[in-house]
Copies of this chain bind each other. A is one copy, B any other.
Protein backbone atom coordinates (compact mmCIF):
# COMPACT_ATOMS: atom_id res chain seq x y z
CA UNK A 1 0.00 0.00 0.00
CA UNK A 2 2.72 2.51 0.99
CA UNK A 3 5.19 3.52 -1.69
CA UNK A 4 8.79 3.12 -0.54
CA UNK A 5 10.43 6.37 0.53
CA UNK A 6 12.74 7.73 -2.17
CA UNK A 7 14.52 10.25 0.06
CA UNK A 8 14.97 9.26 3.69
CA UNK A 9 17.86 11.61 4.48
CA UNK A 10 15.73 13.58 6.94
CA UNK A 11 14.61 10.50 8.89
CA UNK A 12 18.13 9.08 8.91
CA UNK A 13 19.64 12.33 10.18
CA UNK A 14 17.04 12.53 12.98
CA UNK A 15 18.22 9.08 14.11
CA UNK A 16 21.89 10.13 13.77
CA UNK A 17 22.51 7.66 10.97
CA UNK A 18 24.99 8.43 8.17
CA UNK A 19 23.84 10.58 5.23
CA UNK A 20 25.90 11.85 2.28
CA UNK A 21 24.85 15.45 2.95
CA UNK A 22 22.88 17.46 5.51
CA UNK A 23 19.13 17.25 4.85
CA UNK A 24 17.02 20.38 5.19
CA UNK A 25 13.57 21.82 5.37
CA UNK A 26 12.30 25.22 6.51
CA UNK A 27 9.92 25.99 9.33
CA UNK A 28 6.84 27.63 7.68
CA UNK A 29 8.10 26.54 4.27
CA UNK A 30 4.46 26.54 3.15
CA UNK A 31 3.73 30.17 3.79
CA UNK A 32 3.11 33.74 2.81
CA UNK A 33 6.53 34.36 1.24
CA UNK A 34 5.34 32.18 -1.70
CA UNK A 35 3.00 33.86 -4.21
CA UNK A 36 1.38 30.49 -4.94
CA UNK A 37 0.56 30.16 -1.24
CA UNK A 38 -1.03 33.59 -1.19
CA UNK A 39 -3.14 32.62 -4.22
CA UNK A 40 -4.39 29.42 -2.56
CA UNK A 41 -5.07 31.23 0.67
CA UNK A 42 -7.09 33.84 -1.22
CA UNK A 43 -9.05 30.98 -2.78
CA UNK A 44 -9.71 29.55 0.70
CA UNK A 45 -11.17 32.86 1.87
CA UNK A 46 -9.44 32.77 5.24
CA UNK A 47 -6.69 31.04 7.14
CA UNK A 48 -8.94 28.68 9.07
CA UNK A 49 -10.65 27.46 5.90
CA UNK A 50 -7.24 26.78 4.44
CA UNK A 51 -6.36 24.58 7.43
CA UNK A 52 -9.76 22.88 7.41
CA UNK A 53 -9.95 21.96 3.73
CA UNK A 54 -7.71 18.91 3.16
CA UNK A 55 -7.30 19.54 -0.59
CA UNK A 56 -6.11 23.10 0.00
CA UNK A 57 -3.93 22.15 3.00
CA UNK A 58 -2.39 19.44 0.78
CA UNK A 59 -1.84 21.88 -2.06
CA UNK A 60 0.07 24.42 0.08
CA UNK A 61 2.02 21.64 1.81
CA UNK A 62 3.38 20.54 -1.58
CA UNK A 63 4.08 24.00 -3.03
CA UNK A 64 7.54 24.57 -1.51
CA UNK A 65 8.65 21.10 -2.67
CA UNK A 66 7.91 22.07 -6.28
CA UNK A 67 10.24 25.05 -5.95
CA UNK A 68 13.08 23.77 -3.79
CA UNK A 69 14.82 20.39 -3.32
CA UNK A 70 13.75 20.05 0.31
CA UNK A 71 14.05 16.80 2.24
CA UNK A 72 10.75 16.85 4.10
CA UNK A 73 7.20 18.10 3.79
CA UNK A 74 5.38 19.45 6.85
CA UNK A 75 1.65 19.23 7.23
CA UNK A 76 0.08 22.63 6.71
CA UNK A 77 -1.97 23.36 9.82
CA UNK A 78 -1.88 25.47 12.96
CA UNK A 79 -1.06 24.83 16.61
CA UNK A 80 -4.49 26.23 17.57
CA UNK A 81 -6.50 23.42 15.95
CA UNK A 82 -6.78 21.84 19.42
CA UNK A 83 -8.43 24.83 21.17
CA UNK A 84 -10.67 25.10 18.11
CA UNK A 85 -11.64 21.44 18.41
CA UNK A 86 -12.23 21.91 22.16
CA UNK A 87 -14.95 24.39 21.24
CA UNK A 88 -13.21 27.50 22.59
CA UNK A 89 -13.85 29.53 19.44
CA UNK A 90 -10.95 30.52 17.23
CA UNK A 91 -10.69 33.40 14.82
CA UNK A 92 -7.87 34.77 12.76
CA UNK A 93 -8.49 38.38 11.96
CA UNK A 94 -6.58 40.03 9.14
CA UNK A 95 -3.48 41.81 10.43
CA UNK A 96 -4.14 40.62 13.99
CA UNK A 97 -3.01 37.47 15.70
CA UNK A 98 -5.39 34.62 16.56
CA UNK A 99 -8.28 35.17 18.97
CA UNK A 100 -9.84 32.61 21.30
CA UNK A 101 -13.41 33.68 22.04
CA UNK A 102 -13.84 31.76 25.31
CA UNK A 103 -10.53 31.83 27.20
CA UNK A 104 -10.05 29.26 29.98
CA UNK A 105 -9.19 30.92 33.29
CA UNK A 106 -11.10 29.26 36.12
CA UNK A 107 -11.44 25.79 37.64
CA UNK A 108 -14.92 25.74 36.14
CA UNK A 109 -13.63 26.55 32.67
CA UNK A 110 -11.13 23.69 33.00
CA UNK A 111 -13.78 21.22 34.22
CA UNK A 112 -15.94 22.08 31.24
CA UNK A 113 -13.29 21.14 28.67
CA UNK A 114 -14.41 18.17 26.56
CA UNK A 115 -12.23 15.16 25.81
CA UNK A 116 -10.78 15.33 22.34
CA UNK A 117 -11.37 12.54 19.83
CA UNK A 118 -9.01 13.45 16.99
CA UNK A 119 -10.55 11.21 14.33
CA UNK A 120 -13.91 12.85 15.04
CA UNK A 121 -12.96 16.39 16.08
CA UNK A 122 -9.90 16.92 13.90
CA UNK A 123 -10.79 14.67 10.99
CA UNK A 124 -9.83 17.42 8.56
CA UNK A 125 -6.25 17.13 9.81
CA UNK A 126 -5.95 13.35 9.53
CA UNK A 127 -7.67 13.53 6.13
CA UNK A 128 -5.07 16.08 5.04
CA UNK A 129 -2.26 13.80 6.29
CA UNK A 130 -3.63 10.85 4.28
CA UNK A 131 -4.07 12.98 1.17
CA UNK A 132 -0.58 14.53 1.41
CA UNK A 133 1.00 11.08 1.84
CA UNK A 134 -0.81 9.88 -1.28
CA UNK A 135 0.24 12.94 -3.28
CA UNK A 136 3.84 12.85 -2.00
CA UNK A 137 3.96 9.28 -3.26
CA UNK A 138 7.15 8.56 -1.29
CA UNK A 139 9.08 11.57 -2.56
CA UNK A 140 10.07 12.80 0.93
CA UNK A 141 8.75 12.08 4.43
CA UNK A 142 5.85 14.03 5.95
CA UNK A 143 6.19 15.75 9.34
CA UNK A 144 3.16 16.05 11.61
CA UNK A 145 3.12 18.57 14.45
CA UNK A 146 1.39 20.15 17.40
CA UNK A 147 2.05 23.01 19.80
CA UNK A 148 3.37 22.21 23.27
CA UNK A 149 0.77 22.24 26.04
CA UNK A 150 2.36 25.34 27.59
CA UNK A 151 2.41 27.21 24.29
CA UNK A 152 -1.14 26.27 23.34
CA UNK A 153 -2.08 27.03 26.95
CA UNK A 154 -0.87 30.62 26.60
CA UNK A 155 -3.40 31.24 23.81
CA UNK A 156 -6.14 29.31 25.62
CA UNK A 157 -5.71 31.30 28.85
CA UNK A 158 -4.83 34.72 27.42
CA UNK A 159 -7.44 34.53 24.65
CA UNK A 160 -4.86 35.21 21.97
CA UNK A 161 -1.26 36.28 21.51
CA UNK A 162 0.38 37.86 24.50
CA UNK A 163 3.46 39.81 25.39
CA UNK A 164 3.51 39.59 29.18
CA UNK A 165 1.35 36.45 29.72
CA UNK A 166 -0.60 38.23 32.43
CA UNK A 167 -3.31 35.64 32.98
CA UNK A 168 -1.38 32.40 32.54
CA UNK A 169 1.57 33.59 34.65
CA UNK A 170 -0.89 34.89 37.23
CA UNK A 171 -2.20 31.29 37.34
CA UNK A 172 1.27 29.75 37.22
CA UNK A 173 2.41 31.62 40.33
CA UNK A 174 -0.95 32.15 42.02
CA UNK A 175 -2.95 28.99 41.21
CA UNK A 176 -0.43 26.43 39.95
CA UNK A 177 -2.69 23.43 40.61
CA UNK A 178 -5.34 24.77 38.27
CA UNK A 179 -2.79 25.43 35.58
CA UNK A 180 -1.43 21.90 35.97
CA UNK A 181 -4.94 20.52 35.43
CA UNK A 182 -5.31 22.54 32.25
CA UNK A 183 -1.90 21.49 30.95
CA UNK A 184 -2.61 17.83 31.76
CA UNK A 185 -5.81 18.08 29.72
CA UNK A 186 -3.98 19.66 26.80
CA UNK A 187 -1.24 17.03 27.10
CA UNK A 188 -3.71 14.16 26.72
CA UNK A 189 -5.37 15.88 23.77
CA UNK A 190 -2.04 16.61 22.11
CA UNK A 191 -0.75 13.05 22.57
CA UNK A 192 -3.91 11.61 21.03
CA UNK A 193 -3.77 14.18 18.25
CA UNK A 194 -0.16 13.39 17.32
CA UNK A 195 -0.86 9.64 17.49
CA UNK A 196 -3.78 10.16 15.11
CA UNK A 197 -1.44 12.03 12.74
CA UNK A 198 1.05 9.15 12.96
CA UNK A 199 -1.69 6.59 12.34
CA UNK A 200 -2.79 8.62 9.31
CA UNK A 201 0.73 8.64 7.90
CA UNK A 202 2.96 11.27 9.56
CA UNK A 203 6.52 9.86 9.43
CA UNK A 204 8.01 12.19 12.05
CA UNK A 205 6.40 14.60 14.51
CA UNK A 206 7.51 17.90 15.96
CA UNK A 207 6.30 19.69 19.07
CA UNK A 208 6.56 23.49 18.85
CA UNK A 209 7.12 25.20 22.18
CA UNK A 210 7.13 28.75 20.89
CA UNK A 211 6.68 30.38 24.29
CA UNK A 212 8.62 28.09 26.64
CA UNK A 213 11.48 30.58 26.45
CA UNK A 214 9.34 33.17 28.24
CA UNK A 215 9.60 31.13 31.45
CA UNK A 216 12.17 31.02 34.22
CA UNK A 217 14.24 27.80 34.23
CA UNK A 218 12.25 26.34 37.14
CA UNK A 219 8.89 27.27 35.61
CA UNK A 220 9.98 25.87 32.24
CA UNK A 221 10.81 22.49 33.74
CA UNK A 222 7.58 22.32 35.73
CA UNK A 223 5.09 23.80 33.27
CA UNK A 224 6.45 23.14 29.81
CA UNK A 225 9.17 20.49 29.62
CA UNK A 226 7.38 18.06 31.91
CA UNK A 227 4.34 17.95 29.63
CA UNK A 228 6.41 17.61 26.48
CA UNK A 229 8.14 14.66 28.14
CA UNK A 230 4.72 13.10 28.82
CA UNK A 231 3.81 13.51 25.18
CA UNK A 232 7.05 11.88 24.04
CA UNK A 233 6.36 8.90 26.34
CA UNK A 234 2.82 8.55 25.03
CA UNK A 235 3.59 8.56 21.33
CA UNK A 236 3.43 5.65 18.92
CA UNK A 237 7.10 5.55 17.91
CA UNK A 238 6.89 3.10 15.02
CA UNK A 239 4.79 2.89 11.86
CA UNK A 240 5.16 0.65 8.78
CA UNK A 241 8.15 -1.00 10.45
CA UNK A 242 10.04 2.28 10.69
CA UNK A 243 10.78 4.50 13.68
CA UNK A 244 8.76 7.73 13.85
CA UNK A 245 11.21 10.31 15.25
CA UNK A 246 10.06 13.05 17.60
CA UNK A 247 11.55 16.56 17.50
CA UNK A 248 11.09 19.03 20.38
CA UNK A 249 11.67 22.72 19.81
CA UNK A 250 11.59 25.38 22.53
CA UNK A 251 12.31 28.80 21.06
CA UNK A 252 14.77 30.50 23.41
CA UNK A 253 15.44 27.15 25.08
CA UNK A 254 19.16 26.98 24.28
CA UNK A 255 20.07 26.64 27.95
CA UNK A 256 17.77 23.69 28.47
CA UNK A 257 18.84 21.38 25.67
CA UNK A 258 20.41 18.83 28.01
CA UNK A 259 17.13 18.59 29.96
CA UNK A 260 15.17 18.34 26.72
CA UNK A 261 17.39 15.48 25.56
CA UNK A 262 16.38 13.56 28.69
CA UNK A 263 12.75 13.37 27.53
CA UNK A 264 13.51 10.58 25.07
CA UNK A 265 13.01 12.82 22.03
CA UNK A 266 15.10 11.87 18.99
CA UNK A 267 16.00 15.42 17.99
CA UNK A 268 15.88 18.99 19.27
CA UNK A 269 15.25 22.18 17.37
CA UNK A 270 17.71 25.00 18.14
CA UNK A 271 17.13 28.68 17.46
CA UNK A 272 19.89 30.99 16.18
CA UNK A 273 20.83 32.43 19.57
CA UNK A 274 22.75 29.25 20.48
CA UNK A 275 25.76 27.98 18.55
CA UNK A 276 25.23 24.44 17.29
CA UNK A 277 28.72 23.55 18.56
CA UNK A 278 27.65 24.48 22.11
CA UNK A 279 24.30 22.74 21.61
CA UNK A 280 26.01 19.58 20.42
CA UNK A 281 28.34 19.61 23.41
CA UNK A 282 25.37 20.14 25.74
CA UNK A 283 23.47 17.12 24.44
CA UNK A 284 26.64 15.00 24.05
CA UNK A 285 25.38 13.56 20.74
CA UNK A 286 22.48 11.80 22.47
CA UNK A 287 19.99 13.44 20.08
CA UNK A 288 20.08 14.97 16.61
CA UNK A 289 19.91 18.76 16.25
CA UNK A 290 17.82 20.79 13.86
CA UNK A 291 18.57 24.39 12.95
CA UNK A 292 19.63 27.15 13.13
CA UNK A 293 20.06 29.96 10.61
CA UNK A 294 18.62 33.30 11.77
CA UNK A 295 15.55 33.67 9.50
CA UNK A 296 16.48 37.35 9.09
CA UNK A 297 19.67 36.31 7.27
CA UNK A 298 17.32 35.77 4.31
CA UNK A 299 16.87 39.55 4.10
CA UNK A 300 20.52 39.77 2.98
CA UNK A 301 21.78 39.09 -0.57
CA UNK A 302 22.49 35.49 -1.73
CA UNK A 303 26.27 35.77 -1.21
CA UNK A 304 25.80 36.70 2.42
CA UNK A 305 23.25 33.91 2.84
CA UNK A 306 25.74 31.38 1.50
CA UNK A 307 28.41 32.54 3.97
CA UNK A 308 26.00 32.23 6.90
CA UNK A 309 24.86 28.75 5.78
CA UNK A 310 28.52 27.78 5.80
CA UNK A 311 28.90 29.16 9.30
CA UNK A 312 25.95 27.10 10.58
CA UNK A 313 27.26 23.91 8.94
CA UNK A 314 30.73 24.52 10.37
CA UNK A 315 29.26 25.20 13.79
CA UNK A 316 27.64 21.74 13.85
CA UNK A 317 30.84 20.37 12.38
CA UNK A 318 31.71 16.94 11.07
CA UNK A 319 29.51 13.93 11.59
CA UNK A 320 25.87 12.99 11.31
CA UNK A 321 22.77 14.01 13.21
CA UNK A 322 22.22 17.53 11.82
CA UNK A 323 19.08 18.63 10.00
CA UNK A 324 19.57 22.09 8.53
CA UNK A 325 16.73 24.51 9.13
CA UNK A 326 16.02 28.09 10.01
CA UNK A 327 16.05 28.93 13.71
CA UNK A 328 12.37 29.92 13.45
CA UNK A 329 9.74 30.23 10.70
CA UNK A 330 10.65 31.91 7.42
CA UNK A 331 9.48 35.54 7.39
CA UNK A 332 6.58 36.41 5.06
CA UNK A 333 8.49 39.22 3.33
CA UNK A 334 11.55 37.21 2.27
CA UNK A 335 12.12 36.82 -1.50
CA UNK A 336 11.70 33.14 -2.51
CA UNK A 337 15.02 33.39 -4.42
CA UNK A 338 16.75 34.00 -1.11
CA UNK A 339 15.28 30.78 0.26
CA UNK A 340 16.51 29.09 -2.93
CA UNK A 341 20.02 30.43 -2.28
CA UNK A 342 19.96 28.92 1.20
CA UNK A 343 18.78 25.54 -0.07
CA UNK A 344 21.42 25.50 -2.83
CA UNK A 345 24.15 26.38 -0.34
CA UNK A 346 23.20 23.47 1.95
CA UNK A 347 23.28 21.07 -1.00
CA UNK A 348 26.61 22.41 -2.16
CA UNK A 349 28.47 22.94 1.09
CA UNK A 350 27.24 20.18 3.40
CA UNK A 351 28.73 16.99 1.81
CA UNK A 352 32.21 17.88 3.10
CA UNK A 353 30.92 17.47 6.67
CA UNK A 354 29.84 13.89 5.98
CA UNK A 355 33.07 12.36 4.66
Known contacts A164-B295, A218-B311, A294-B216; is-contact A274 B300 (Cβ 8 Å): no
Residue in B213, B278, B304 whose CB lies within 8 Å of A173:
B304
| Alpha-carbon distance between A274 and B254 when the two chains are bound, in angstroms | 11
Known contacts A273-B215, A273-B216, A274-B217; is-contact A297 B252 (Cβ 8 Å): no
What is the size, in residues, of chain A's interface with B at 8 Å between Cβ atoms?
Answer: 38
Residue in B167, B173, B294, B301 whose CB lies within 8 Å of A169:
B294
Interface of A is mostly: helix
Give every chain B residue within 8 A of A300 (Cβ-Cβ). 169-170, 172-174
Known contacts A255-B273, A273-B252, A273-B255; is-contact A170 B299 (Cβ 8 Å): yes
Give every chain B residue within 8 A of A311 (Cβ-Cβ). 218
Interface assignment of A165: CB less than 8 Å from any CB of chain B = yes
Give every chain B residue within 8 A of A165 (Cβ-Cβ). 296
Kindly report how many copies of this chain are found in the complex they form together: 2
| Alpha-carbon distance between A80 and B216 when the two chains are bound, in angstroms | 29
Within 8 A of B (CB), among A285-310: 294-297, 299-301, 304-305, 307-308
Binding site for B on A (CB under 8 A): 164-167, 169-170, 172-174, 213-219, 252, 254-255, 272-275, 278, 294-297, 299-301, 304-305, 307-308, 311, 331, 333
Closest 10 CB pairs of A and B: A173-B300, A174-B300, A169-B296, A170-B299, A173-B304, A216-B272, A174-B304, A174-B301, A166-B299, A217-B275
10 A–B contacts from the bound complex (CB under 8 Å)? A164-B331, A166-B296, A169-B299, A170-B299, A173-B305, A173-B307, A213-B273, A254-B255, A255-B273, A255-B274
